Amino acid sequence: MTGADGAERLLLVYCGGTFGMRDSGRGLVAQRDLGGVLGELVRECSAQRSRDVDWELAQPPEIIDSAEAGHGTALSIADLIRERLGSADRAGSPFAGVLVVHGTDTLAHAAAQAAFALADLRTPVVYTGAMHPLGTPGGDAERNFARAFAAALAGGGPGVRLVFGSADLPAVRAVKRSSEADEAFAATRPLAEPTTSVPGLAAALAGAAGAIPPRVGMLTAVPGLPPALVEAALLAFPDGLVLECYGAGTAPLSGRDAREVLLGARDRGTPVLAITRCAHGAVELQRYAVGAALAEAGVIGGSDLTAEAAIAKLRALLRAGYTGERLALLLRLNLVGEQRPLGE
Ligand code: ASP
């Protein structure tokens, strides 16, 4: 989309992260005001293009180390984007693209959350960040910004992507793989092209903007995982729990105590979604008896969702008002490319 003078329009959302950090003397801290640096970067990137780029800056109220993100942080960034794009998005957004600069620790979480919360929008959204602050000799911040800037304006169609290093990944498949390398993000699972469109889902997602963020979290299976810890996790995350299982969806939770805890969650309406910690393959709860025990206790199979996409999907659907059987059904479907539909 172009402005009246033929310039392209970009919405730039700066959220914090190493990209804009400075040394505080006791570690790196995020800076709210980057001075004129963002404008300078936009000017440099625009100079590479044949047309001028008009840009608008949006910032969430808190500029943070993304490790401090809470239940609502990523959703509030998505809501900010929706608000700035306005209802014009469907007819033709006032912006050609959106570029979000975010910390890398929860970049995959934030981008996946936006992919679900903004699934009804038509404007391309690109998330990026950096492993080194702006101005670091040989650092990646300027480079990543330039690539993400170009990707946001490339007219690549709707959807949320994560552009980092040389990678350009679907947000719902991306994971942070390295705490050191410039190529910090990867997608080990293929994008599953959605084949179904769910009646009412777009309106429900749009209508949920601004609503209270559901308290959703994750617990990882380890040898000796006590049912009491599952119970505690369900108390801490009363709206929904992702259970990161072994292999095909197994966990040491087939005993009576665990079953009672899980059935209690089901009766309270707290969904428990099983995913696998393996980088390849999907959950298949019926393959082993210990997995079948989870299914019998109400646990829902999460196919081959990444942890980030699982948390984001559950949170977005809950915020959109889905519960019970309807929620379970949507969790089994591939909505935006996030998973192999169950049964495949
Ligand atoms: N702790 C930083 C953050 O996530 C890491 C980074 O941005 O690279 O905000």
- DSSP code for 95: S
**How is domain 8-186 classified at the architecture level of CATH?**
3-Layer(aba) Sandwich (3.40)
Would you state the pLDDT for residue 1?
52
Return d(Cα 339, Cα 112) in angstroms, integer: 12
pLDDT of 2 above 60: no
Determine if ligand 1 sits within 6 Å of the CB of residue 131: yes
How high is the pLDDT of residue 87? Answer: 61
Please give the full DSSP string across 231-262, using - where no structure is assigned.
HHHHHHSTTEEEEEEBTTTB-S--SHHHHHHH
- From 29, 104, 134, 180, mutation site for ligand 1 pocket: most ligand atoms within 8 A of C-beta: 104
> Rounded to two decimals, what is the model's pTM?
0.95
Examine the pLDDT at 196 and tell me if it is beyond 80. no
- 234, HSE (Cβ side, Cα atoms, 13 Å): 22
Nearest CA to ligand 1 atom 3: 103
- What the block records as the tokens of 82 is 């929706």
CATH (one of 3.40.50.40, 3.40.50.2300, 3.40.190.10, 3.90.1150.10) for 215-332: 3.40.50.40
Q: Return the closest-CA partner of residue 228 out of 186, 192, 263, 257.
A: 257
265-281 mean pLDDT: 97
What distance in Å separates the CA atoms of residue 180 and residue 49, rounded to the nearest whole number?
Answer: 31
The pair of three-digit structure tokens given for residue 343, joined into one six-digit string: 């049964």
Q: Which residues are catalytic?
A: 104
Tokens encoding 31: 């800076």
Q: Where does the chain hold its CATH 3.40.50.1170 domain(s)?
A: 8-186
